[in-house]
Chain A
Amino acid sequence: MTESAPTMLQLDQVSIRYPGSPADVVQRVDLTIPEGGSLGLVGESGSGKSTVARAIVGLVASTGGRIALAGRDVTNARGADLARVRTTVQMVFQDPNASLHPRMAVGDALAEAVSVRRKFNGPDLDAEIARLLDLVGLSPRFTDRFPFELSGGQRQRVAIARSLAVEPRVILLDEPTASLDVSVQATVLNLLRELRSELGLTYLAISHDLAVMRYLCDRIAVMELGSIKEIGPASEMFAAPRHHYTAALIDAVPRLGGRSGTRIVLRGDPSDVADRPSGCSFHLRCPAGPDVVADHERCRTEVPELDDDAHSVACHFPVA
Chain B
Amino acid sequence: MTDAALEISDLEVSFGTGKHRTTVVHGVSLRVEPGEIVGVVGESGSGKTLTAMAATDLLPAGASRDASVWRFRGIDLLAASRSARATAFGGKIGVVFQDPMSSLNPARRVGAQLADTARQWGRRSRSEARDDAIDRLRRVRIAAPERRVDDHPHEFSGGMRQRTMIAMGLMTTPMLIVADEPTTALDVTVQADVMALIAELNQQEGTAVLLVSHNIALVSEVCHRVVVMYAGKIVEELAADHLAEHARHPYTRALIGSVPTLEADLSRPLTAIDGVPPDPGQLPAGCAFAARCPSVTDRCLIETPVLVNGVACWVAT
Interface residues of A (CB under 8 A from B): 44-45, 151-153, 181-187, 189-190, 193, 208-212, 214-215, 238, 248-259, 263, 265-266, 268-270
Contacts and interface: CB of A to CB of B under 8 A. Distances in A.
B216 A248 contact: no
B271 A263 contact: no
Contacts of A268: 143
A132 B190 CA distance: 39
Contacts of B221: 254-255, 258-259
B270 interface: yes
A269 B272 contact: no
Contacts of B215: 182, 254
B188 A183 contact: no
B54 interface: no
B243 A186 contact: no
22 contacts: A45-B158, A181-B214, A182-B214, A182-B258, A183-B254, A183-B273, A186-B260, A187-B273, A189-B260, A190-B269, A193-B269, A211-B264, A238-B262, A248-B189, A254-B192, A254-B215, A254-B217, A255-B217, A255-B262, A256-B220, A258-B221, A258-B240
B66 interface: no
B266 interface: yes
Contacts of B274: 187
Interface in B232-279: 240-241, 243-245, 254-262, 264, 266, 269-274, 276
A151 B240 CA distance: 30
A208 B187 CA distance: 7
A185 B258 contact: yes
B273 A252 contact: no
Given A182-B43, A256-B216, A211 B262 contact: yes
B190 A269 contact: yes
B44 interface: yes
B196 to A, nearest CB: 7
Contacts of B271: 186
Contact of A181 (B43, B188, B264): B43
Give 7 closest A-B pairs by Cβ, nearest first. Answer: A257-B244, A186-B258, A186-B270, A252-B192, A254-B217, A183-B273, A181-B43
Best-buried of B43, B260, B271 by chain A (most CB within 10 Å): B260
B139 to A, nearest CB: 16
Contacts of A44: 187-190
Given A45-B187, A263-B196, A151 B276 contact: yes
A86 B158 CA distance: 33
Given A44-B187, A214-B266, A257 B254 contact: no
Contacts of A248: 189
Contact of A250 (B190, B255, B262): B262
B261 A211 contact: yes
A172 B48 CA distance: 34
Given A181-B214, A208-B188, A215 B241 contact: no
Contacts of A238: 262
Nearest to A185: B258
Contacts of B88: none
Contacts of B157: 269-270
Contacts of A257: 220, 240-241, 243-245
B110 to A, nearest CB: 15
A138 to B, nearest CB: 13
B191 interface: yes
Given A184-B43, A209-B188, A255-B262, 13 more contacts: A44-B189, A44-B190, A151-B276, A181-B214, A209-B260, A211-B259, A211-B260, A211-B264, A257-B241, A257-B245, A268-B143, A270-B157, A270-B189
